[in-house]
């Protein structure tokens, strides 16, 4: 997908809300399709994702440098999109590949499979992975399910459902493991967003004065809710960004790690973590950057011959369409080398839309000597 999009990071996707998987609230499938799936039914969106070389190289290398997991095996591709992962699985020697896709992108996937002479191996199935049936269990489940900061979009629910229904006891997951990272950063985004907020409020004041002058209606009672609305938009909503590694001003912290073979929906519905980061120089704390990585390691009993990692960490040369999620502070804080940041993170699903996230970040700053310096708690939204 493109970096300017507000969507997630998938290949067209085939999730629903988790058939057989406990969810926090029932979701209307038609609403979910309109809000989420329909984006992935356009080729321009697929092209954006397929143009991400970091993404493509990682999956390509994972498949072709570990052909022993695919040769003669059955594969399920959850959310096949244009069918690339299914095609690679077949090219790596799979006996049969079931490529599940929720949207009409399935038609393009079938055409692509046929054009590459693999229609006898790859079967494209249009539908939600929770609703479809397969004639057999599979040896491999492959999926590109990751969203912003890993869990936005909640697609992993569908991968878990597919795993629990269709993966053989000896089967492997591609990717096999996933991790979430958080680090303190410096950024001009703080000043920019604060200026945008100030501009929006100044515009409201002018608007309010004009309404009263021209039409005799006092709008001041709405100033506070408007300010809250604008602060959520400009300050509390996480920002997509390509961070330079030099913007990371403290040790990156691991806030979540999971094994895709055993992870459950309940452990990703709410992520809680308490970690510590150490500031690496005299600088200004402007916020926090969040990213993820996934690994292709097979399983303990059937390991990969070549471990592959896909990372979305800040990089000068290897940026991805996921970028990083930046949680900005409206009032940056001066910090010194050796300052300790005790960070608390609680990430849960939005009550209005289970594919979006709410993040509560708390931070206690202590000097290297242990003396308290400053503390705060803020709420953010990944939309």
Q: Nearest to residue 86, comparing CAs of 63, 105, 55?
A: 63
Q: Nearest to residue 368, comparing CAs of 253, 281, 293?
A: 281
User: Which member of 101, 130, 153, 358 is catalytic?
Assistant: 153
Helix (H, G, I), strand (E, B) or coil at 115: helix
Q: Exposed/middle/buried for 64, CB within 10 Å: 0-12, 13-18, 19+?
A: middle
Q: Name every residue whose Cβ is closer than 8 Å to that of residue 334 and which is 6 or more positions away in sequence.
A: 282, 283, 284, 285
**Tokens 């594969």, residue located:** 75
Kindly state the tokens that stand for 298: 């097979």
Helix (H, G, I), strand (E, B) or coil at 198: helix
User: Which member of 101, 130, 144, 358 is catalytic?
Assistant: 144
Q: Exposed/middle/buried for 240, CB within 10 Å: 0-12, 13-18, 19+?
A: middle
153 catalytic residue (yes or no): yes
Q: Nearest to residue 159, comparing CAs of 362, 14, 4, 352?
A: 14
Residues with catalytic function? 144, 153
């Amino acid at each position: 997908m493109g970096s300017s999009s507000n969507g997630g990071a998938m290949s067209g996707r085939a999730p629903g809300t988790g058939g057989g998987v406990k969810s926090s609230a029932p979701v209307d499938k038609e609403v979910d399709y309109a809000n989420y799936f329909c984006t992935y039914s356009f080729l321009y969106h697929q092209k954006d994702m397929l143009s991400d070389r970091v993404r493509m190289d990682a999956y390509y290398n994972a498949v072709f440098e570990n052909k022993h997991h695919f040769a003669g095996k059955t594969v399920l591709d959850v959310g096949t999109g244009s069918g690339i992962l299914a095609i690679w699985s077949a090219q790596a020697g799979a006996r049969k590949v079931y490529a599940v896709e929720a949207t009409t992108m399935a038609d393009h996937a079938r055409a692509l499979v046929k054009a590459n002479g693999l229609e006898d191996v790859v079967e494209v199935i249009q539908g939600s992975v929770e609703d479809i049936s397969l004639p057999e269990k599979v040896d491999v489940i492959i999926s590109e399910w990751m969203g912003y900061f890993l869990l936005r979009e909640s697609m992993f629910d569908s991968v878990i459902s597919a795993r629990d229904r269709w993966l053989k006891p000896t089967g492997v997951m591609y990717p096999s493991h996933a991790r979430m990272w958080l680090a303190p950063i410096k950024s001009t985004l703080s000043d920019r967003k604060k200026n945008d907020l100030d501009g929006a409020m100044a515009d409201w004041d002018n608007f309010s004065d004009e309404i009263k002058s021209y039409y005799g209606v006092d709008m001041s009672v709405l100033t506070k809710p408007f300010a809250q609305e604008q602060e959520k938009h400009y300050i509390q909503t996480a920002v997509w960004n390509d961070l330079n590694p030099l913007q990371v001003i403290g040790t990156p912290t691991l806030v979540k790690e999971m094994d895709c073979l055993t992870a459950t929906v309940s452990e990703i519905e709410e992520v809680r973590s308490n970690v510590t980061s150490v500031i690496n120089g005299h600088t200004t704390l402007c916020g926090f950057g969040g990213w993820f990585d996934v690994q292709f390691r097979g399983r303990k009993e059937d390991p990969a011959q070549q471990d592959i990692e896909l990372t979305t960490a800040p990089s000068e040369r290897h940026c991805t369409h996921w970028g990083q999620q930046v949680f900005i502070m409206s009032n940056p804080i001066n910090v010194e080398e050796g300052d300790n940041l005790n960070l608390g993170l609680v990430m849960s699903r939005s009550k209005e839309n289970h594919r979006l996230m709410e993040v509560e970040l708390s931070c206690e700053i202590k000097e290297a000597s242990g003396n308290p310096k400053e503390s705060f708690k803020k709420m953010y939204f990944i939309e």
